[in-house]
Structure 1
Amino acid sequence: MSKIVLSKQFIQNTVKLALNEDLFPDGDVTSDLLNNNKIINCNIIANENALIAGVSFAKETFNLIDNKIKFKILKNEGSLVKKGSKIANIKGNAKNILMGERVALNFLSHLSGIATKTDMLKKKIGKIKICCTRKTIPNMRVVQKYAVKVGGGTNHRFNLSDEYLVKDNHIASSNIYDVVSLAIKNKKRKKITVEVDNLSQLKKIIGLNFETVLLDNMSIDDIKKAIKIIKNKHEIEVSGNINQKNISKYKNIKIDRISIGSLTHSVKSIDYKLEI
């Protein structure tokens, strides 16, 4: 998988886009009404239990607006915090702090939501890997997949070039044996994953030389049957409507990973506030 590197330059560029969205074309017209010279001291506070992610994005938000603003991190990235915990202390020009408030909190809220959910699911499933997918917000994939890693999850392929993933519509457009065989022939050190949604499809590809079988939307009984057919020849991944309520059913099944699109496409953000 393409390596995700959150360099300072990447964080700056991402935050710049967010600030431009919030401030174009006339800036913060409401905060401009304040006394430019007033210095305030405030805290970012968690309004619920959370696993923190996105602190560096919040810090960079204020730094880009006014590098004289002092941003003191009180809880580090990846920390588990209780409701009411102070995450960071901010001191500086009132107008400039309020200008960056929502962008900073949005990064913290969204990334912490992903990290918190990943952590929660990981604890329910033990050693099985929890993976995100490509079901991400456009232009936010790197950031979202980073948050999954903060929460203890595993990144699936980053983009379409990373690996071969033969899915249902590829199979519907061709013959499963032929398309997998062609992927093997052309793999060039790329990983091959084959998605199947029934045992008949699985039996057609057993014996071919590829890495992972993705069992999609299969019942627990069929997953157990598939495991017997696979016989440790491939890594086993499962997916399809797996969530907090039903994930524990998979804990004692001999699978390697579970991929969950909702980690990124419909996650609940964590509620933070900036309090003066």
Structure 2
Amino acid sequence: MSVTQTMNSGVSFRSMAVKPPSHPTYDMKGVIKLALAEDAGDQGDVTCLATIPLDMEVEAHFLAKEDGIVAGISLAEMIFHEVDPSLKVEWSQKDGDHVQKGLQFGKVSGQAHNIVVAERVVLNFMQRMSGIATLTKTMADAAHPACILETRKTAPGLRLVDKWAVLIGGGRNHRMGLFDMVMIKDNHISIAGGIINAIKSVDQYLEQQNLQMR
């Protein structure tokens, strides 16, 4: 991000181009709060506090460092809003758009201290999500008309973030967790005493629990 001074303030949010997948217990706001808290520690941003006047206003720009699919724009807005609801965020692109190296595709303006505090958390999420989305797009295009689905092998605590990035890149979500789909694997077969026993046990369990599940 590059920074220039400005006097703008306020908030401008765009509707989500690609909505995150649903999950019964996942707390996206909690993930954002945790990411900000682990960065701030118990002292806050001591470098900002020492070097940046609290009343300084700036405008910071998002610049693509390489070609790819941009992802995490909606999440970035959530993070900026969590840090300071008065920050004004504007984009020329949306989640899922292809950007070329050197393109300035967004900006945030407001209190300098709060922008810098949010910056690294925003960029960490956007860089991760954009990388996943870009690779997913490459594979989805190569596999068409077949569909690309992901797995549960996501970074702990970032499952919906990672799966959201897959959707942005043109892939599809498989099961969200252990709760929303039956998937018999080697361990289940071994412990159940064979594939037939495992399937019978699943059928019985679903019937007993009155569950409609794939």
Partner of 1:180: 199
Matched residue SS, 2:183:
strand
Partner of 2:213: 190
Out of 152, 155, 158, the position equivalent to 1:140 is 158
Matched residue SS, 1:26:
coil
Q: CA deviation at 1:172?
A: 2.6
Alignment RMSD, CA only? 1.9
Q: CA deviation at 1:11?
A: 4.1
Out of 3, 10, 14, the position equivalent to 2:31 is 14
Q: Gapped runs of 5+ residues in structure 2?
A: 1-19
Is the Cα contact below 8 Å between 1:11 and 1:60 reproduced in 2?
no
Q: CA deviation at 1:62?
A: 1.9
Partner of 2:117: 99
Partner of 1:270: none
Larger Rg: 1
Partner of 2:16: none
Q: CA deviation at 1:165?
A: 0.8
Structure 1 residue identity aligned to 2:49: D
Partner of 1:121: 139
Q: Specify which structure has the higher proportion of strand.
A: 1
Q: CA deviation at 1:27?
A: 0.4
Structure 2 residue identity aligned to 1:177: I
Q: CA deviation at 1:10?
A: 4.7
CA distance in 2, matches of 1:60, 1:160: 28
Aligned residue pairs total: 187
CA distance in 1, matches of 2:22, 2:199: 31
Is the Cα contact below 8 Å between 1:75 and 1:86 reproduced in 2?
no
Q: Gapped runs of 5+ residues in structure 1?
A: 192-276
Matched residue SS, 1:130:
coil
Partner of 1:211: none
Against the structure 1 CA distance between its residues 21 and 71, is the aligned structure 2 distance closer, same or farther, given a 3 Å change threshold? same
Matched residue SS, 1:129:
coil
CA distance in 1, matches of 2:109, 2:162: 29
Identity of aligned residues (%): 34
